[in-house]
Structure formats: structure tokens, C-alpha cells
Amino acid sequence: MGATMATRRDLVNALAAVVGKRYVIYRPEDLRVYEYDGTIDKSTPHAVVLPGTAEEVAGCIRVARNFNIPVTPRGAGTGLSGGAVPAERGIVIGTPRMRRILEVDPVNRIAVVEPGVVNIQVSETAAEHGLFYAPDPSSQRACTIGGNVAENAGGPHCLSLGVTTNHVLGVEVVTPDGEVTWLGGRVPDPHGYDLRGLFIGSEGTLGIATKAVVRLMPLPATVTTMLAIFETVEDASRTVSSIIGAGIVPAALEMMDQTTMTAVEAGLACGYPPDAGAVLIVELDGLADVVGTEAKLAREACQANGAREIREANDPKERELLWRGRKGAIGALGQLAPNYYILDGVVPRSQLVETMTKVSAISQKYGLSVANVFHAGDGNLHPCILFDEREPGATARVLEAGAEVMRVCVDAGGALTGEHGVGFEKQQFMSWLYSDTDLENMERVRPAFGNEGRFNPCKMLPTGTGCGEMAHQEQAVRAAGPEAYV
């Protein structure tokens, strides 16, 4: 059925035949909820459909193919790179109905879950067996496993344990041509090509995950959490390299600057010092003797780099309070401005001091306030640019500043993303890191999975047509310099 011959009513009726009318959303006022994720870009879909099984997902995909309209997969909508924004409209396939934890196997230390399961619920369910699920994005009380798989999500505790791809053994996938198949399985390192690894982090361009087999880990025997307080971001940044250089890989090593702490204290009152330039949260876990030795070395590294005070959480309640502030930091920025644009770049730890200095210079150049909260241990920066989108020209200025920050990360020998993905937000930056041949080879992967250009279009790779409504990113690329893109 050609798109020019069909109507929205035809589309809605075809989707309703697959999932039932109550699970098809099409009224304009209801679609507004699905036009954006956690970034700036917006685009309204023609319809949203909420399947309850893999077979229904496949049926919805076949409807989209019959109508020749794009498909955009969506989890909880907490993504931060535009990955769930329907850039070419079409239909959004959401997974919130698929939220069962199907199995917890404590002997083999795995769980089988549906994509709509909220991240933290996996650990809460596994805790009765003394186990937990390691990847813990700051949005873990809202984000879902399906979205985590799509974006290869990380989190504060992924420094020593690895990100999503290190903890997902297998995924059931519905491909862009409507086939249901498994990639990987219930055991690590199966023979053959790692199609599981290829799918994780593909940002919804290779299919939709409908089940995942996740790895569970034993809860640590001992946990020590410290808050190191510094006068400057530079002192805190130097400390990060010193801690890692001492042979310690903490469970988490997080930084917040003064702007972020101001917001957190106003909204959450976690006891962060309002006059400090930066703080580090250092968490160590493992056997008691090992943790004791590492904690001593970490304190020495903090003191050697000018820490004015080091606090240690004495009980689980104090530890929870420290982490509540860190994990609620992004949301707390609403105390300071009506809008914020969160970036996601990676630099080598040795470049943290220089990079943070350049980020500060960019914020001054554009007259924009920047709050820094990030995974310092692996150099995964999250500068948050604060602004008011109602101010004429503010959004364009923010995007230009963001492009310059990303250019700084790449020039420092880093990467475009550590955990949020490329999505629509950074697709035009890909040529900073990859040659035309590299990008062409990446593009060739999609048809192998059945994606001929209509499955989450305008994402990851700087190719495709029909993305003109969201083309303001190209202006931001140009602002980053004449060598920004070809």
C-alpha cells in the first residue's frame, strides 16, 4: 500500500489489527509525549504503537513496511542523543508493555528479561539471591533494559565492571524485515561472529530487542564510599589520574563541580559543600582487606592533590545520600535554568585538566553557564549547558557551543560518546573520527539486518535524506571549524 494512497486512519486500523485499538496512539495531543527524548530535537510521529510480544512487534514492523513509512524504536524515552526521536515521523514502536522479568537463575548467574523492564528492577529482584546487575545509568529508576541495549548504556559503577555489552549474553531481536531471531544466548563467548556485540549499541538501526539474557554478579562483600572535597576542578581532575596511577580501579570515580552541587543542594540537600570548586565520589568494593588498602592509597592521592577534606560514609544511609545527589544531579539542574543540553564526550584521563579548562573557555565565549557532572574515572565528560529556549537564538548558540566541546574531546584523542550514543545529535560529527570508507562499511551492515533506510533513519551515520526539519546540527558542525566535516 503506497504512502500517498493511504490515510492515517488506514495506518491506525492496520496497527490496531495487530495489537488492539487501545494500544495505538494517534491523537495529536497524545503524540506530543513521543516527539522528543532527553535532548533538544523534536519530531512528531504519525502514530505510536505499543506491542506486548515479539510477534506483535514483528507484525507492527510488517505494517510499516506495507505502508512504506519509517519505524523508530523507543524504550522509556530517557535517551540523550535523539535516538528515540522519529526524525522522519512514521510510527514509533514502544516497549513499555513488555516489562516482565521472565527468569532469575542464581546458579548460572543470569536473568532473562523483557525490554521494558526498568534497569533498577533487575538488581532489586536479584538481590534476594545476593546478586545484582552492574550497568547503572543515572536514570536507572526510569530507563529500561531495551534502551540500555540500544545505546550500550554505562553508569557510575561501570568503571571497573564494564558497560552493557559486557553484561548482556544474548538478545532476542525483531529485525527490520520482521524476522524474530536470537543473537548470542545464555553462555558467554559463543563461537562465530559476535552479532550480539554488533547489535548492542546499534541505536535501534538493526532491530528491536524483545528479550535479553543479562549477566548477574555477586554483591560485594565490602563497600567504602568517600567524598573528597577540592577547591578547583583542576585539582580534582589531577586526582583522578593519581588514583588510577596508584594501581587502583575504583568501582566508581565521579566528579561534580560547584554549579552542579549548587543545584543538587537546592533540590536534594545531600550535604555537599556549597563553597567547594569540585568533589570526587570515590567508591571501592571487594574483600575487606583489599578495600582497606585501596582506600588508604586513594586518600593519599586525594591529599597529595590538595583535597581540603575527605569524608567517608559510615553506613548505608550516608552512602545512599551521596549517591542520590550524584544520580539526581542532572534533573536538579532545573533549579538553575529551564533548559539544559547535556553532552557526552570521552577524553583520555591524562587530558582531563586541559579539556576542562577548554570547556570553561567555551562557556565564557558563548556567555553560557556550564555544569559539569561526569564519570571522571574513564574520562567520560557530561558538560551540561544551561539555557532558556524561549530566548531568541539561545538554542542555536547552545548547539554551536556543544559542537565546539565535542571537537575539543576528539582533538584530545577521545571519542564522540561514552554511553549516550550518537543518535541524531552527533551523526554529522562522525567524519571527525572515521574516513569515508569506514562510514561506508558501517552503512553496509544495515541492509544485512534488513534495514534499507527506513528503520530509525537519520541516526548514527551522516547519511540519508528527509532529515531537513532537524538540520540545525549542520550549523553547529560548521561552527566547530573548517575541518569539522566533509
In a domain, 1, yes or no: no
Q: Note whether 386 and 459 are same-domain residues.
A: yes
* 135-143 own/partner pairs: CB under 8 Å, 24+ apart: 135/161, 135/163, 135/164, 135/167, 137/78, 137/419, 138/326, 138/327, 138/328, 138/329, 138/330, 139/76, 139/78, 140/327, 142/76, 142/78, 142/118, 143/75, 143/76, 143/78, 143/118, 143/119
In a domain, 320, yes or no: no
pLDDT at residue 463, rounded to an integer: 73
**Nearest in space to 368 (alpha carbons), one of 391, 397, 343, 331:** 397
In a domain, 187, yes or no: yes
pLDDT at residue 470, rounded to an integer: 55
When divided into structural domains, the chain yields a total of 4
286 pLDDT higher than 80: yes
**Nearest in space to 416 (alpha carbons), one of 366, 373, 480, 360:** 480
Q: Which of 48-62, 197-211, 291-305, 461-475 is predicted least confidently?
A: 461-475
| Cβ atoms of residues 410 and 432 within 8 Å | yes
Q: Note whether 339 and 287 are same-domain residues.
A: no
pLDDT at residue 467, rounded to an integer: 65
What is the tens place of the pLDDT at every residue in 114-170? Answer: 999 999 999 999 999 999 999 999 999 999 999 999 999 999 999 999 999 999 999
Q: Note whether 428 and 350 are same-domain residues.
A: yes
Domain termination site, one of 218, 246, 271: 218
pLDDT at residue 3, rounded to an integer: 44
335 pLDDT higher than 90: yes
Q: Note whether 16 and 139 are same-domain residues.
A: no
4 pLDDT higher than 80: no
C-alpha to C-alpha distance for 406 and 356, rounded to whole angstroms: 12
pLDDT at residue 477, rounded to an integer: 45
Q: What is the CATH number for 387? A: 3.30.70.2740
Q: What is the CATH number for 306? A: 3.30.70.3450
pLDDT at residue 6, rounded to an integer: 78
484 pLDDT higher than 70: no
Domain termination site, one of 313, 341, 374: 313
pLDDT at residue 479, rounded to an integer: 52
Tell me the average pLDDT across 449-457.
Answer: 96
Q: Note whether 278 and 243 are same-domain residues.
A: yes
Q: Note whether 346 and 465 are same-domain residues.
A: yes
Please, which residues bridge with residue 94 across strands?
A: 74
**Nearest in space to 111 (alpha carbons), one of 97, 125, 98:** 125
Q: Note whether 428 and 446 are same-domain residues.
A: yes
Tell me the average pLDDT across 464-476.
Answer: 50
What is the tens place of the pLDDT at every residue in 83-115? Answer: 999 999 999 999 999 999 999 999 999 999 999
Q: Note whether 363 and 459 are same-domain residues.
A: yes
Q: Note whether 72 and 209 are same-domain residues.
A: no
Tell me the average pLDDT across 263-292.
Answer: 95
Tell me the average pLDDT across 358-381.
Answer: 96
Q: Note whether 72 and 125 are same-domain residues.
A: no
Phi and psi at 61, nearest 5°, equal -65, -40
In a domain, 484, yes or no: no
In a domain, 441, yes or no: yes
Give the global pTM.
0.92
pLDDT averaged over every residue in the chain: 93
What is the tens place of the pLDDT at every residue in 183-223? Answer: 999 998 888 999 999 999 999 999 999 999 999 999 999 99
In a domain, 151, yes or no: yes
pLDDT at residue 480, rounded to an integer: 54
Q: Which structural domain, as residue segments, surrounds residue 434?
A: 333-479
C-alpha to C-alpha distance for 235 and 253, rounded to whole angstroms: 14
465 pLDDT higher than 50: no
Q: What is the CATH number for 88? A: 3.30.43.10
Q: Note whether 380 and 290 are same-domain residues.
A: no
Q: Which of 3-7, 52-56, 79-83, 193-197 is predicted least confidently?
A: 3-7
Domain termination site, one of 94, 117, 147: 94
3-state per-residue secondary structure call for the chain: CCCCCCCHHHHHHHHHHHHCHHHEECCHHHHHHHCECCCCCECCCCEEECCCCHHHHHHHHHHHHHHCCCEEEECCCCCCCCCCCCCCCCEEEECCCCCCEEEEECCCCEEEECCCCEHHHHHHHHHHHCEECCCCCCCCCCCEHHHHHHHCCCCCCHHHHCCHHHCEEEEEEECCCCCEEEEECCCCCCCCCCHHHHHCCCCCCCCEEEEEEEECEECCCEEEEEEEEECCHHHHHHHHHHHHHCCCCCCEEEEEEHHHHHHHHHHCCCCCCCCCCEEEEEEEEECHHHHHHHHHHHHHHHHHCCCCEEEECCCHHHHHHHHHHHHCHHHHHHHCCCEEEECCEECCHHHHHHHHHHHHHHHHHHCCEEEEEEEHHHCEECEEEEECCCCCCHHHHHHHHHHHHHHHHHHCCCECCCCCCCCCCCHHHHHHCCCHHHHHHHHHHHHHCCCCCCECCCCCCCCCCCCHHHCHHHHHHHHCCCCCCC
In a domain, 236, yes or no: yes
In a domain, 182, yes or no: yes
What is the tens place of the pLDDT at every residue in 8-46? Answer: 999 999 999 999 999 999 999 999 999 999 999 999 999
C-alpha to C-alpha distance for 237 and 200, rounded to whole angstroms: 31
Q: What is the CATH number for 213? A: 3.30.465.10
Contacts of 457 by beta carbon, 8 Å cutoff, 6+ apart:
70, 87, 88, 464, 466, 467
pLDDT at residue 473, rounded to an integer: 45
Q: Note whether 209 and 233 are same-domain residues.
A: no
